[in-house]
Structure 1
Amino acid sequence: MASAFPRSDSPGSSPGDTHPEQQYLDLMRRIWEQGSERIDRTGVGTRSVFGATLRFDLAGGAMPLITTKRVYWKTATRELLWFLTGETNIRPLVLQGVHIWDDWPHARYVRETGDDIAIAEFVERIAADEAFAGNWGDLGPVYGKQWVDWPTWRYRADGLYEPGEGINQVAAVVESLRNNPGSRRHIIEGWNVAELDRMALPPCHKTYQFHVADGKLNGLLYQRSCDVALGLPFNLWSAALLQRMLAQQTGLEPGEFVWMGGDVHLYLNHADLIEQQLARAPQGAPRLELLRQPDSIFDYAIEDFAVIDYTPLGPLKAPVAV
C-alpha cells in the first residue's frame, strides 16, 4: 500500500534524517498500513504486528520524549514514582491530578454495584472519601507491588505455609549494579503468574533488564502488549527515566535504551489521532536534567526533574480501551 504520510525522506525532512522519533512514527505507520486486524479483549478491534524494537541513545541527557504530539511527562513521572512506593490504590494519583488509571476501578465499581455513576463523580469520591477509595480504588497487586514487594511464602513446622518477607526487586537491582555490574541478572519483573487474576490489568510493560558496559548503564524494556498511540509515548519516557535514575544512583553514565514489544497494536477507533500524528514531523531534541541526587532510588520527587528544549506539537486525544 502506498503511504499517504510523510517518511523520513519526504519533503520537510533533510536527506538522511535520523531523528530518533522517526522510528516511532515508522512503527506506527507500519502497523496502520500493514498490521493484521484483530478482535481484542476490549472489543474495539486493533491492527497489530508481532515483535518490534526501538533504540534510543540517552547520552547528554537525551530522552525518548515524543514531539509530534504533547506528552505530559510530569504525569508519566508521577506514575513511575507511585510505582516505586509499591502503592496499588489510585487515590494518591488522583490527589495529584493524575487520572490514567481511573477507568479500571470505575468499570469495576459500575459492574459490581450496578450504579452507573459518571467517572468524574467516581473520581471525586475517590479523592474525598478515603474509605470509599479503600474499597473501590485499588487495582490489585499491579506493577509497584511486584517491583518492591514481590510476595514470598515460607514453610512452617506444622506443614502449612505463611506469607514471608516480600522481595524488593528495585533495591536488589541497585545493589547488584553497584556490586556486581557484570551480572546478567539485573532484572525487574512484573509478571507474577500466581497473581495475574487479582490485577485490574496484567502488566503490559513487564520485564526490565539492565546491562553495564564501559561505565554506561544500558536498559531494556520488554512489553508484552503495547497501545502505540496512547501508551507507548508514556512507556518510553518512564522506562528511560527509570534508567536515568538508576544510573545516577549507581554512579554510571546513561547509555542506550532499548524497547521491545510483543503484540504491538493500534486501536481502530484511534484513526484520527494516528493520521494527524503521521502527518507531522519530529522537531527538537528534548533533554532531561536531574536536579538532585537523593539518598535512595525511592526518594525522588517530581521537583527533581526538569525537561529542557521540549517544544512539541499540539496534543492529540483518543479514547482509552478498557
Structure 2
Amino acid sequence: MASTPHPADSAPREHWEWSYLELMRRIWTEGDERIDRTGVGTRALFGTQLRCDLSQGRVPLLTTKRVFWKAAARETLWFLTGETNIRPLLEQGVTIWSDWPLKKYREASGEDIAQEDFERRIVEDADFAARWGDLGPVYGKQWVDWPTFEPAGNGLFRPGPGFNQVAQAVESLRTNPGSRRHIIEGWNVAELDRMALPPCHKTYQFHVAGDRVSCVLYQRSCDVALGLPFNLFGAALLTRMIAQQAGYEVGELVWMGGDTHLYLNHAELVEEQLGREPSGDPRLAIKRRPTSIFGYRFDDFEVTNYAPQGALRAPVAV
C-alpha cells in the first residue's frame, strides 16, 4: 500500500475531523483493493462509523479541504421538493448531479457534448430537460412521495396517494417521541432500476433523548473523498431542520457506512489531505423557523467561522 504522511503528534486531537482523517488513512492503507462497478477500482472497508456533536450550532464541515456547503444545502432543499430533474439545481449553479444524465445522453445520442453545453441546454430548453435531465425516482421522490397502491377491484390495484416520509417523521417526533420508527428510507426495491443512481445515503433514523433529537444515517456505499463531506453536512442540516420543526434542540449525528471506499484515482487528493491538520470550529445557524419543514429557503442558513484549507479536486466515478 502507498505510504501516507502523518500530521504532527503535537496537533490537538479533540477536533471531530481527526476521526474522518483516520478513517481515510485506514481505508487507504488497510482497505481491500478491488474493481468496482465503475471500473476505476477502490480500496474499501466495511462497517464504519463517525460521530459528530451538533449541539450549539456545531456542524461537520471539513477544514482540511473546502466543502462547498452551499451546493449541499441547495441539494437538501431540492430533495425536500420531491423533484427528480436536475434543471432546478442547474438554475442555481449546482452541477453535482450532471454526470449521470450526461453519460446517458452521450451514449444514446452519440454526441460528445461538453458538460457545460449539456447543462446550458438543460437550463434553456424545457423539452430537452424533461427528456434528458430526469434522474428517475431518486432520493426526494422517495422521501416525500413514496408510491402507494390501493385496490381497484377484480384483484387489481391502482396508484394511491404518495406517502410523505419527511412530514410523517416530523409529526411522529412531535407526538410520539419515544417511538423507534422515526425513519426516512430511500431504498425502494421496486424502483431501483428506474433510478440514475440507487440511494447511497439510504436510511435516516431519528431519536429523542430529553430535549434533543439525534440522527443515525446509514450509507450503503460511500465515496469518502468526494461524497462523504457532502453527506455529513446534508445530514446535519436535515437533522437541524427536523429538530427545529418538531420543537427540539439538536444532539448528535451518527454516520454508519457499509462499503466505505476511496477510489484508486483519488491518490493525489488522499495523500495531500492526510498531510493537513484540522482547525477552526464552523457553526451553522438557521435564521428562521418556517411553518413547515418544506418552507425553508437557502437564505435561511448561515455558516460562520469556516476558514478551510484549499479545495482538493478529483474525478467523479460514474
Rounded Cα–Cα distance in structure 1 between residues aligned with 2:211 and 2:178: 11
1:5 aligns to 2:1 (yes or no):
no
Q: What amino acid is aligned across from residue 148 of structure 2 in structure 1?
A: T
1:129 aligns to 2:125 (yes or no):
yes
User: SS in structure 2 opposite 1:206?
Assistant: strand
Matched with 2:78 is: 82
Matched with 1:278 is: 274
Q: What amino acid is aligned across from residue 298 of structure 1 in structure 2?
A: F
Rounded Cα–Cα distance in structure 1 between residues aligned with 2:4 and 2:132: 45
Matched with 2:196 is: 200
1:92-116 per-residue CA deviation (whole Å, 9 max, x = no partner) reads 0000000000000000111112222
Matched with 1:53 is: 49
Note the C-alpha offset of 1:36: 0.7
Note the C-alpha offset of 1:3: 5.6
Rounded Cα–Cα distance in structure 1 between residues aligned with 2:65 and 2:279: 10
1:74-103 per-residue CA deviation (whole Å, 9 max, x = no partner) reads 000000000000000000000000000000
Segments of 5+ residues of structure 1 without an aligned counterpart are: none
1:108-137 per-residue CA deviation (whole Å, 9 max, x = no partner) reads 111112222121111110010011000000
Report the TM-score when normalising by structure 1.
0.97
User: SS in structure 1 opposite 2:161?
Assistant: coil
Aligned pairs (5 A) from 1:84-99: 84-99=80-95
- Conserved 8 A contact 2:147-2:163: yes
1:15-69 per-residue CA deviation (whole Å, 9 max, x = no partner) reads xx22100000000000000101110000000000001000011111001011000
Rounded Cα–Cα distance in structure 2 between residues aligned with 1:22 and 1:260: 16
1:44 aligns to 2:47 (yes or no):
no
Aligned pairs (5 A) from 1:109-258: 109-258=105-254
Matched with 2:304 is: 308
Rounded Cα–Cα distance in structure 2 between residues aligned with 1:11 and 1:71: 25
1:203-224 per-residue CA deviation (whole Å, 9 max, x = no partner) reads 0000000000111101010000
User: SS in structure 2 opposite 1:78?
Assistant: helix
Matched with 1:25 is: 21
Rounded Cα–Cα distance in structure 2 between residues aligned with 1:131 and 1:2: 48
- Percent identity reads 66
Note the C-alpha offset of 1:2: 9.5
Equivalent pairs counted in the alignment come to 318
User: SS in structure 2 opposite 1:280?
Assistant: coil
Rounded Cα–Cα distance in structure 2 between residues aligned with 1:157 and 1:214: 48
The runs of at least 4 aligned residues of structure 1 exceeding 3 Å deviation read 1-4
- Conserved 8 A contact 2:4-2:25: no
1:176-197 per-residue CA deviation (whole Å, 9 max, x = no partner) reads 0000000000000000000000
User: SS in structure 1 opposite 2:295?
Assistant: coil
For the aligned residue pairs, the C-alpha RMSD in angstroms reads 1.1
User: SS in structure 2 opposite 1:220?
Assistant: strand
